[in-house]
Amino acid sequence: MFKSILLVGAIGVGSFGDYVAHELIKDPTHFTRIAFFNNISRPTDEAKKARIQELKAQGFEIIDAADYASPKAYEGFDCVLSFLGNHGLYLQPAIIDAAIEAGVRHFYPSEYGADITEGQNWTQRYYKYKVQTREHLDAKAQEIPDLGWTYYLLGRLTEWSVISHFGFDNKNAKAKIYGTSSGRQSLISAQDSARYLVETLKEPLSPQAKGRRRTYRISGSDPTYAEIFEILERVTGRKYDVTYLDVESAKQEEAQAKVSGDIDAELAASHKLIQGREGTLLPRPWDNDRFPQIHPKNVEETLREAFASERAKLVYGLE
């Protein structure tokens, strides 16, 4: 079991790593050392500075380093968890190498989404660097027999599933969705998902549990788009005007974005293909039952809270 853990990319306010950090520090007694990697060459803002001060004041360690690739920062940790966002995922092999050199033997790569081994996911642009990271871990495992990892899979985070990036115009109660009204996806709230993740850190790496190369599949429910819009309508009190589009037409959009060099547009088009083909439906069996003490909120409860939150205007484009 892990005693000393280092979180990379978990300081950014509102990021998934931030949710995990908040759950983790509620009961730190399980660990002897919890630290946060602060890449000092990365941009910072007042919110990030304040968060660093808050973590320090609560007694958590901040490891300042000018890049992710120097082993020193990873010394003394059993487990490194990466929460890097889409644009930082390509850095994970270098992080893994540096951490291995420092003696780390377990990684949580920044997965936290669909099962990338399912359907056509493995070859999609959106997952390029998640795939590369898994391949890198496999290659390293040939040299280092005690190397381990945890793939923590959840489908989609409910709060993120209805934002403009995925075709939702909440301000005008409209949506353009690639796929059909019966298309499904697996959803769980960010906070519940973070809670489950923290519990996985407490499970032993023994063969009686899941061993040292683990995959957890933990989600909440598999609603269709029709069900999601019914919920959104109850939550917002407005009827959504939804247009369903041919999934495969996103291939052209992806190709155009690639030519123009617009990476965000390329990722968005790639995600439409994944989503429209039900690539974010998390295959069963799920591992929720390992942690019966957690009772995840349903989609409606989660969206009610999210739309009532301070950040809703920003996150849901309601301004």
Residue 99's closest CA among 68, 61, 130, 136? 68
Q: Does 160 bind ligand NAP (CB under 6 A)?
A: yes
Number of residues in contact with ligand NAP under rule CB under 6 A: 22
Residue 289 neighbours by CB under 8 Å, 6+ apart: none
Query: Which residue is nearest to ligand NAP, using beta carbons?
Result: 85
The β-bridge partners of 30 are none
Residue 35 backbone dihedrals phi, psi, to 5 degrees? -135, 155
Shortest reach from residue 226's CB to ligand NAP, in Å = 20
**CA–CA gap between residue 193 and residue 132 (Å, rounded):** 24
Which residue bears the tokens 């908040």? 22
> 39, 170, 185, 200: which one contacts ligand NAP (CB under 6 A)?
39
Which residue spans within 43-105 are E strands per DSSP?
Answer: 61-65, 79-82
Q: Does 179 bind ligand NAP (CB under 6 A)?
A: no
> 2, 21, 88, 100: which one contacts ligand NAP (CB under 6 A)?
88
Q: Does 124 bind ligand NAP (CB under 6 A)?
A: no
Q: Does 132 bind ligand NAP (CB under 6 A)?
A: no
Q: Does 85 bind ligand NAP (CB under 6 A)?
A: yes
Q: Is 82 helix (H, G, I), strand (E, B) or coil?
A: strand
Residue 214 backbone dihedrals phi, psi, to 5 degrees? -115, 150
> 3, 56, 72, 87: which one contacts ligand NAP (CB under 6 A)?
87
> 6, 104, 147, 157: which one contacts ligand NAP (CB under 6 A)?
157
Point out which span in 79-87, 96-104, 171-179, 265-273 binds ligand NAP (CB under 6 A).
Answer: 79-87
Q: Does 74 bind ligand NAP (CB under 6 A)?
A: no
Cβ atoms of 217 and 115 within 8 Å: the answer is yes
Point out which span in 12-20, 135-143, 163-171, 246-254 binds ligand NAP (CB under 6 A).
Answer: 12-20
Q: Does 112 bind ligand NAP (CB under 6 A)?
A: yes
> 11, 79, 268, 306: which one contacts ligand NAP (CB under 6 A)?
11
Residue 46 neighbours by CB under 8 Å, 6+ apart: none
Smaller CB separation from ligand NAP, 14 or 204: 14
Residue 14's closest CA among 40, 58, 42, 51? 51
Residue 94 neighbours by CB under 8 Å, 6+ apart: 68, 69
Query: Which residues of this protein are in contact with ligand NAP, per CB under 6 A?
Result: 9, 11-12, 15-17, 39, 42, 48, 83-85, 87-88, 91, 110, 112-113, 154, 156-157, 160
